[in-house]
Structure 1
Amino acid sequence: MMIVDLIDGDDFRDRLVALGIRIPEGACPETCARMALRKHAEVGVPGLQELVHELMEQTDVMLPSVRAAIERFLLPGLR
């Protein structure tokens, strides 16, 4: 049996925090995406575009709430 590690809201938040974005503990994926986009618009976030690209290549193991947040806020905002 193969166990797949899903990309959930906590994992999404942790990856954004690792890029230097301050996000409150327990924030939902939508809040995480909005805060990441705001930080990127204000001062830029090195690695954010690469992270979003990497995550979108893994949509088969991503929770729908994380995917929806990325598609709604980060994909349009990073173009």
Structure 2
Amino acid sequence: MMIVDLIDGEDFRQRLVSLGVRIPEEACPESCARLAAGCHRARGVEGLEPAIRDLMQHTDVMLPSVREAIERHLLPIFGSP
């Protein structure tokens, strides 16, 4: 049996926090993405775009809520639909 580690809301939040984005512990993926996008627009978040591009290479093991939040709030600020 193969066990796959899914990218869930907490993984997503931790990734953003490691880049310096302040996100409450109980934040859902939608809130995480909105906060990260706002921080990036306001002051820039170094490493955010590569981190998001890397995450999007793993949509097969990403929860839909995380993927949808990234697509809705973060990809548009990097010039992706």
1:18 deviates by: 0.2
Q: Can you give the 5+ residue segments of structure 1 that lack an aligned partner in the other structure?
A: none
Alignment of 1:1-79 (within 5 A): 1-79=1-79
Aligned-residue RMSD, C-alpha: 0.5
1:26 deviates by: 1.1
Percent of residue pairs identical = 66
Over 6 Å off, 4+ runs: none
Amino acid aligned to 1:28: C
Amino acid aligned to 2:50: E
So what's the TM-score if we normalise by structure 2? 0.95
So what's the TM-score if we normalise by structure 1? 0.97
1: distance between equivalents of 2:58 and 2:38?
24
Aligned length: 79
1: distance between equivalents of 2:77 and 2:57?
18
1:55 deviates by: 0.6
